């Protein structure tokens, strides 16, 4: 019997080649998103976590119309659901799959990717009157806003989310105690950052967005703000990546950065690659400009 990785080689090879081609054109960055193609009633889709510009055929999984794996051992997880939904022109379930992708990215600390997935889900929700899906996505964006330091917006989004859950007669806690713990921690941190009075005021402001359409509109407007987006990208970087970005802004070469931080040049190379991928840039000059625009002019850490 043939090994699974030897089955359906053509669509898997075609997706890998498309990844290389589009990455060379600057259309793909790092591990952000998925690339997929339809082959009859089958879908070939890259695995979650694959570095798209270096994707190989064995990192492409072929799934059937029911989402079952036909070839490949790498799991595309929620990306599979998004690909299947796109292939069939389905939108509502795709929005829920995008929530799962956004939640996973947030848990991993990749806030920029989480914002992208959440926004994509919210844009789909504009075409529906779906209080539950809207509450989940707006609530996730509230958590993201809090993670990125915009606590007032986080509370306003939370207020809109609470209005939607009231309509449904339930809460995010219905999805399990682990979700409830995230919600409780978010509320505790937001109250601590704003103070109880300011928190309740922002909750009341957001509570006026008491329909799915209004809540989604508020969330999309918040996440489209340029400063907020820069903050999301910034807090996706690790502390060490922030230090490296600061030294890039000072004009240091990779070898100079390695010496300053007592790292190997190869380790600095990897940090630079991760910074470029997370920020969606293709050059060190863009990293330097981004740092100067969004942090202290001296390039020192805030």
Mean pLDDT, to the nearest integer, of 171-184? 85
The DSSP string of 111-178 is HHHHHHHHHHHHHHHTTS--HHHHHHHHHHHHHHHHHTT-HHHHHHHHHHHHHHHHHHT--GGGG-HH
Cα distances (angstroms) measured from residue 37 to each of 27, 42, 60: 16, 9, 10
d(CA 280, CA 112): 9
d(CA 283, CA 265): 18
Sheet holding 42-46, edge to edge: 36-39, 42-46, 60-63, 69-71
pLDDT value at residue 301: 37
pLDDT value at residue 261: 92
pLDDT digits (tens, 9 = 90+) for 217-275: 999 998 876 456 556 666 667 778 889 999 998 999 999 999 999 999 999 998 998 88
Q: Are 190 and 158 in contact (CB under 8 A)?
A: yes
Tokens of 24: 């060379």
Tokens of 235: 């807090």
Confidence band (pLDDT; 50, 70, 90) for 4?
A: very low
Cα distances (angstroms) measured from residue 255 to each of 119, 240, 276, 282: 38, 16, 18, 19
- Greater confidence (163 vs 68) lies with 163
In this predicted structure, the answer to whether residue 72 has a pLDDT above a threshold of 60 is yes
In this predicted structure, the answer to whether residue 2 has a pLDDT above a threshold of 50 is no
Q: What is the largest CA-CA distance in the chain?
A: 67
Helix (H, G, I), strand (E, B) or coil at 45: strand
Which of 291, 292, 282 is closest to 241 using CA atoms?
Answer: 291
CB hemisphere CA count around 286 (13 angstroms): 12
pTM of the model: 0.58
Tokens of 274: 């991760």
pLDDT digits (tens, 9 = 90+) for 109-125: 777 778 888 999 999 99
pLDDT value at residue 10: 80
* Paired sense of beta strands 69-71 and 36-39, if any: unpaired
């Amino acid at each position: 019997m043939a090994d699974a990785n030897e089955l359906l080689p053509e669509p898997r090879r075609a997706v890998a080649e498309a990844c290389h081609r589009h990455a060379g054109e600057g259309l793909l960055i790092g591990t952000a998103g998925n690339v997929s193609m339809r082959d009859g009633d089958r879908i070939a889709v890259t695995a979650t976590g694959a570095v798209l510009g270096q994707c190989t055929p064995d990192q492409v999984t072929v799934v059937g119309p029911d989402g079952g794996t036909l070839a490949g051992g790498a799991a595309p997880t929620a990306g599979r659901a998004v690909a299947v939904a796109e292939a069939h022109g389905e939108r509502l379930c795709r929005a829920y799959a995008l929530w799962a992708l956004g939640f996973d990215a947030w848990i991993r600390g990749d806030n920029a990717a989480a914002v992208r997935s959440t926004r994509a889900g919210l844009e789909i929700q504009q075409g529906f009157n779906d209080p539950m899906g809207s509450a989940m996505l707006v609530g996730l964006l509230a958590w993201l806003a809090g993670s990125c330091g915009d606590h007032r917006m986080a509370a306003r989004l939370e207020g809109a989310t609470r209005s939607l859950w009231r309509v449904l007669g339930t809460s995010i806690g219905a999805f399990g105690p682990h979700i409830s713990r995230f919600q409780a921690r978010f509320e505790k941190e937001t109250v601590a950052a704003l103070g109880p009075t300011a928190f309740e005021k922002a909750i009341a402001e957001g509570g006026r967005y008491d329909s799915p359409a209004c809540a989604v509109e508020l969330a999309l407007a918040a996440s489209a703000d340029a400063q907020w987006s820069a903050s999301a990208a910034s807090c996706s970087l690790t502390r060490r990546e922030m230090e490296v970005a600061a030294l890039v802004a000072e004009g240091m070469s990779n070898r100079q950065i390695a010496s300053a931080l007592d790292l190997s040049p190869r380790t600095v190379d990897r940090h630079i690659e991760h910074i470029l991928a997370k920020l969606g840039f293709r050059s060190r000059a863009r990293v330097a400009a981004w740092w100067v625009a969004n942090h202290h002019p001296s390039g020192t850490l805030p």
